[in-house]
Structure 1
Amino acid sequence: MKTRTRLAILFKLITATILLIFAAIIYYSTQESREREFYTLLKKEAITKANLFFNAEVNPQTLQDIYRSNRQVLNEVEVAIYDKDFTLLYHDAVDIDFVKETKSMNDDIYKKGEIQFDQEGWQVIGLRYEFEGNNYVVTATSYDQYGYNKLNSLLKTSVLVFVIAIAFIYIAGVFFSKKAFKPVSEMAEKAKNITATNLDLRLPSNDNKDELSELAQTFNAMLDRLEQSFDAQKHFVSNISHELRTPLAAIITELELSINKERNVEDYKTAIENSLKDAKKIVRLSNSLLDIAKASYDPSEISFKSVRIDEVLLDARQQVQRGNPDYKIDIHFETDFDNDEQISINANAYLLKVAFANLFENGCKFSEDHHSKVSIAFKYQSIQLQFSDHGIGISEIDLKNIFKPFYRGDNQKFADGNGIGLSLTQKIILLHKGTISATSKLGEGTDFFVSFPNG
């Protein structure tokens, strides 16, 4: 069942319930009012006839004739008068006698002063009447045919109006729910046309600030992120393909030249060394891609524990110098620390070592003296690291793009690289809730500033 149909039915049920309760309250109130007013009428008739009998001393036969005459055309009130000993003094029609008074009823009326009750649709009132110091019991009864006719008419009218109202409400509910959900249907149709090949399409929205506009804006924002992700993925795949194709093509070329004709041992050694160099490039690229994948995991899937920054820096230095013995790396403490907590952060030691190794390697690789230094300082609830070198520096234009994946600036002429290192480093540091920035001057060197919270 569609939501708009379900809402129309729910709207109808709620409205029907409200109408039903409203109609029931009106009917019940009218019924109570009719009964109360008729009892008041009976009381007046009883007192009036008692006054005629006692005060005006109207002949009982005359009163009975008036009753029987009126009864032909009206629902005349039948009145009976008794003394306290249950002796009948007057009755409009003893032969009819709808009430069927008893001595116990007479005593109850005399004791309470007034009673009201219903007898097979006939309303009965009994009251104590005082005349010349003596107390009498007067009963009056009648059938409110006019009142019941009005109630039946009200009931029939209420049922008819209820049925018509429900039909109208259902039709109106279906119409308005269809109209209200029309923008949703349009959004659904538009969304069906959005695929991976046309992520530039967006859902229509307006400035009403309603829920549908908010939904459209949220969906469009998601499409913006997906489009950026797809573009980044395409760019990423394109760059990887280029980075892999170049060394692989070089390896194939070296090997083909080696087997095409006989060469001396030195030529073979040169071909092997060139192929090995290109193979190492592929390995470095593969390792960098694996590290990017690890750094892109959901943080909840990455193992974090308390690690000392100085120990990770020492491991990173050892890793870099193992592959490049001529690299010189210094670790310097600007301020002393009092305990392990001051120099420790919650981190993944492997990823952090990759980030530091990239910064060390970049500092050494782009410096003629192959020298890099890191300074460690402690500030309020943070650890500050400054990676410095006196290398060739980075231009202002390149400095704005150094953290973009596969970006290669002018320094690629100075040393080989694949443009992944700094992008990976930034991703790892952000994963650890840290910050990284850089300053540089051409010909003077570069400084990378890294900060980690340790509070």
Structure 2
Amino acid sequence: MKIRYKLTLLFTLLFTLIICAFAAFIYYSSAENREDEYYKRLKQLAITKTNLLLDAKVAPAVLQLIYKNAPNSLFQEEVAVYDTSFHLLYHDAVNIDKIKETKMMIAEIVSKGEIQFNQGPLQAVGFLYPYKGKDYVVTAAAKDEYGLAKLNQLRFILLLSVLGSIVLTVFAGYIFAKKALKPVAEMVDEIEELTANNLDQRLKVENSKDEIGELAVTFNRLLDRLEHSFDAQKEFVSHISHELRTPLATVIAELEISQNKERTAPEYQKAIELALKDARKLARLSTSLLDLANANYDQTEIRFQELRLDEVLLDARNEVLQHESDYKVNLIFDQEAEDDDFISIQGNEHLLKIAFINLMENNCKFSEYKEANVAISYYQDKTILRFSDQGIGISEQDRLRLFDPFYRGENHYYAEGNGIGLALTKKIIGLHQGDISVISEKGAGTTFIVTLTHV
């Protein structure tokens, strides 16, 4: 069942319960009020007739004649007067006797002073009436035809009103639910139009403070993450197909040339050495591509923890020196940290180590003496790292595209590379809410400046 129908049904049921409870309250309040008023009317009429009998000395026959000749005498109030010993002093119509008083009833009236009760469709009242020092028992009974007719009319009106209200509520509830869910229906139509080719489209947000607006905003954030991941995946696949083709083709060509013609052992050894060199290059490229793909994921998917930057830098330095024994990396601490918080950040150790290794290797590769200097400056809110060398420097034209994936500048003749390292480093620093910039002058060396915020 659709939500609009559920809302309409729930709205109708709720309103029906409320309106029925309200109608029942009105009806039963009116019925109780009618009954009380008619009891008072019966008593007052009985007192009037008793006064005529006892005080005005009107003959019983005259009172009975008035009762008999009254219009609609069938529903006329019937009055009877007894003494406390159950002796009948007066009765409007003994032959009818609507109440049919008993000795027990008279005794109950004497003991309680007044009783009210129903006898079939009749309302009856019995009470003690003192007159000149003597007590009399008076009873009266009748059917409130007028009051009951009014009550039946009220019941019909209430029933008709409830049914009409329910019908109107169904229509009003449906219109209300349809209008309330209209933004959701529009949102569904917009979502259905989304494909892999138009993930840049976003849902319209009418009011970001209501629940529908919050849903649209949340869905747009989901689309942002999906678009980012999808673009990263497409970029990754494109890069793999582009970058792996050349080294693979080189390896295959070298092996095919060796296979086509029988060669000497040194020639085979040379071919194997060349193929092995290309294979290692291919392995480094694959590792870099995988690291770049990992760095392109949503930050929420990467595990962060509290890290000491000096420890990560030392690990990165050791790894660089382990792979390239002719490299030299100097760590320079500008001052001692006054507090551990000054050198701690929330980060991913593996990714940060990759970024620092890339910067160190980049300094060493393009330095005449294969040397990199890493200066660390601590501040209360941030740490600044400077990776510098005294190498060949970078032209202004290359600096503009230095962090583009797979971009190789005019320095590519100086050292081998695949153009992934600096792009990966910038991505990693960005994931850590940091900043990276470069200062370089042709022939005067290069300095990369990394700024990271503390925990």
TM-score by length of 1: 0.84
What is residue 119 of structure 1 aligned with on the other side? 119
- Indicate if the aligned counterparts of 2:23 and 2:158 stay in contact, CA closer than 8 A: yes
User: Cα distance 1:145–1:105, how it changes in 2: closer, same or farther (>3 A)?
Assistant: same
- Indicate if the aligned counterparts of 2:232 and 2:296 stay in contact, CA closer than 8 A: no
User: What's the CA shift for 1:64?
Assistant: 1.1
Matched, 1:152 2:152: yes
Cα separation, 2, equivalents of 1:23 and 1:34: 16
What is residue 162 of structure 1 aligned with on the other side? 162
Which has the larger displacement, 383-392 or 259-268?
A: 259-268
Matched, 1:3 2:3: yes
What is residue 232 of structure 1 aligned with on the other side? 232
Matched, 1:448 2:430: no
Cα separation, 1, equivalents of 2:305 and 2:210: 45
What is residue 27 of structure 1 aligned with on the other side? 27
Cα separation, 1, equivalents of 2:96 and 2:86: 19
What is residue 247 of structure 2 aligned with on the other side? 247
What is residue 143 of structure 1 aligned with on the other side? 143
- Indicate if the aligned counterparts of 1:395 and 1:440 stay in contact, CA closer than 8 A: no
User: What's the CA shift for 1:212?
Assistant: 4.3
Deviations 1:256-281 (A, max 9, x none): 45555677888766655544433222
Q: SS in structure 1 opposite 2:244?
A: helix
- Indicate if the aligned counterparts of 1:123 and 1:141 stay in contact, CA closer than 8 A: yes
Q: SS in structure 1 opposite 2:166?
A: helix
What is residue 355 of structure 2 aligned with on the other side? 355
User: Cα distance 1:343–1:112, how it changes in 2: closer, same or farther (>3 A)?
Assistant: same
User: What's the CA shift for 1:120?
Assistant: 2.1
Cα separation, 1, equivalents of 2:70 and 2:406: 111
Q: Which amino acid aligns with 1:438?
A: S
User: Cα distance 1:133–1:398, how it changes in 2: closer, same or farther (>3 A)?
Assistant: farther
Q: Which amino acid aligns with 1:12?
A: T
User: What's the CA shift for 1:8?
Assistant: 2.0
Q: SS in structure 2 opposite 1:56?
A: coil
Deviations 1:330-370 (A, max 9, x none): 01222235797875666654444322211211121222332
User: Cα distance 1:411–1:74, how it changes in 2: closer, same or farther (>3 A)?
Assistant: farther
Q: Which amino acid aligns with 2:450?
A: F
- Indicate if the aligned counterparts of 1:83 and 1:89 stay in contact, CA closer than 8 A: yes
Matches within 5 A, 1:169-180: 169-178=169-178, 180=180
User: Cα distance 1:74–1:405, how it changes in 2: closer, same or farther (>3 A)?
Assistant: farther
What is residue 15 of structure 1 aligned with on the other side? 15
- Indicate if the aligned counterparts of 1:393 and 1:446 stay in contact, CA closer than 8 A: no
Cα separation, 1, equivalents of 2:213 and 2:341: 49
Matches within 5 A, 1:59-138: 59-70=59-70, 72-73=72-73, 75-138=75-138
User: What's the CA shift for 1:284?
Assistant: 0.9
User: What's the CA shift for 1:7?
Assistant: 1.9
User: What's the CA shift for 1:299?
Assistant: 7.5
User: Cα distance 1:216–1:164, how it changes in 2: closer, same or farther (>3 A)?
Assistant: same
- Indicate if the aligned counterparts of 1:124 and 1:140 stay in contact, CA closer than 8 A: yes
Cα separation, 2, equivalents of 1:396 and 1:88: 130
User: Cα distance 1:56–1:397, how it changes in 2: closer, same or farther (>3 A)?
Assistant: farther
- Indicate if the aligned counterparts of 1:27 and 1:155 stay in contact, CA closer than 8 A: yes
Which has the larger displacement, 91-100 or 166-175?
A: 166-175
Deviations 1:283-319 (A, max 9, x none): 1111123334555678888777776544433332232
The count of residues paired between Structure 1 and Structure 2 equals 453
User: What's the CA shift for 1:28?
Assistant: 0.8
Name stretches of at least 5 consecutive residues in structure 1 with no aligned partner: none
- Indicate if the aligned counterparts of 1:394 and 1:446 stay in contact, CA closer than 8 A: no
What is residue 316 of structure 2 aligned with on the other side? 316
Cα separation, 2, equivalents of 1:452 and 1:224: 25
Matches within 5 A, 1:349-428: 349-380=349-380, 383-394=383-394, 399=399, 402-428=402-428
User: Cα distance 1:221–1:348, how it changes in 2: closer, same or farther (>3 A)?
Assistant: closer
Deviations 1:345-404 (A, max 9, x none): 666544443222112111212223322112234433765433222334445665565445
Q: SS in structure 1 opposite 2:70?
A: helix
TM-score by length of 2: 0.84
Q: Which amino acid aligns with 1:92?
A: D
Q: Percent identity?
A: 51
Cα separation, 1, equivalents of 2:308 and 2:72: 112
